Amino acid sequence: MFNRVTALQPLKALCPIGVFDSGIGGLSVLRALQKELPQERFVYLADNAHAPYGEKSEDFVSQRTHAIAHYLQTQHQIKALVVACNTATAAAIQGLRAAYPTLALVGVEPALKPALALSSTRRIGVIATRGTVASVKFSRLLASVKDEAHFVVQACNGLALAIEQSTLPDPSHDAQAQITRLLQTYTQAMGHFGSAPGDIDTLVLGCTHYVFVEHDLRTLLGPDVQLVSTGEPVARQTHRLLAAASLLNAAQPEGAEPAMRLLTTGDLKGLQAAAQRWLGLPEEACEAVPASL
């Protein structure tokens, strides 16, 4: 018998992968995805008009996540969705799985388990947004590993926003100084970092924005502390999921749409500057979409 799903599969494989975050943080995941899956097309949505997610209610973040998933499916025919935001994953991934049972869906969560494999002192730091730290999903994750090491968890209000502001073409105030101040305050509150017994020797970056201040963290914490992020494992998981569903794109046909389209519900210039800085993309790769999508 003619199987419609199987017959449509090759066409579906040509569709883009949707990726989204509250802002530019998910570009750190997009960078890893592009490296892992160079034949694929991506459409990235930065929900800047509603950022930062980490300081909004779980209901609000969940509503935005559903609206964006719907928009990317109906307007861009995505074949998979990567929720490149820890806060949105914590608030909405379960609901999304129920609402889109046939969509290949990948979320991100703070890399506590990978950190266990790296830590010698068994003291592990975790920095994330307030929303992630306060979520039931994170509490469960922490409970599942808490007997194997001591975890020091710190919510970092204001940090994702300062990172957004630092990439604007004309930052209105000294966002870089603000980043340094916030990182100092939050890491000092967590205790001593280093490789001696009792030190925190591993720091989990539980927000996709924080990858862009890795260099500042390294300067602050010294060379012995391991910084753990999730872009690469998420990219590998996306690869596995697409392969299992026979949705990998073998090659781009002639005249195909551009491989990267970046959309924002907020300030276009900000996204353009970040896309140029972090991914080397031209301004034309970015466009503004309505904040109310």
98 dihedral zone (left: phi>0; alpha: psi -120 to 50; beta): alpha
Site stretch for ligand DGL (CB under 6 A), options 81-89, 97-105, 185-193, 231-239: 81-89
51, 22 in Cβ contact below 8 A?
Answer: yes
Site stretch for ligand DGL (CB under 6 A), options 20-28, 73-81, 95-103, 281-289: 20-28
Nearer to ligand DGL, 40 or 47 (CB): 47
Q: Which residue has the tokens 């519900």?
A: 265
Answer yes or no: 85 catalytic: yes
Whole-angstrom Cα distance, residue 135 to residue 199?
A: 27
The encoded tokens of residue 253 equal 């046909």
Window 207-266: residues binding ligand DGL (CB under 6 A):
207-209
**Strand partners of residue 150:** 123
Nearer to ligand DGL, 208 or 265 (CB): 208
Q: Which of 16, 17, 19, 25 binds ligand DGL (CB under 6 A)?
A: 25
Whole-angstrom Cα distance, residue 137 to residue 216?
A: 29
Say whether the peptide bond before residue 52 is cis (omega within 30 degrees of 0).
Answer: yes
Q: Which residue has the tokens 């970015």?
A: 286
Answer yes or no: 286 catalytic: no
Q: Running DSSP on this structure, what letter comes out for residue 158? A: T
Please report how many Cα atoms fall inside a 13 Å half-sphere around the Cα of residue 141, on the Cβ side: 23
| Per-residue mark of binding to ligand DGL, 145-184 (x: CB under 6 A) | ---------------x------------------------
Site stretch for ligand DGL (CB under 6 A), options 47-55, 178-186, 231-239, 252-260: 47-55
Nearer to ligand DGL, 12 or 66 (CB): 66
Output the CA torsion sign for 60, 46, 165, 234: positive
Question: Smallest distance from the beta carbon of 130 to ligand DGL, in angstroms?
Answer: 8
Q: Which of 129, 166, 167, 238 binds ligand DGL (CB under 6 A)?
A: 129
Q: Which residues bind ligand DGL (CB under 6 A)?
A: 21-23, 25, 51-54, 85-87, 129, 132, 160, 207-209
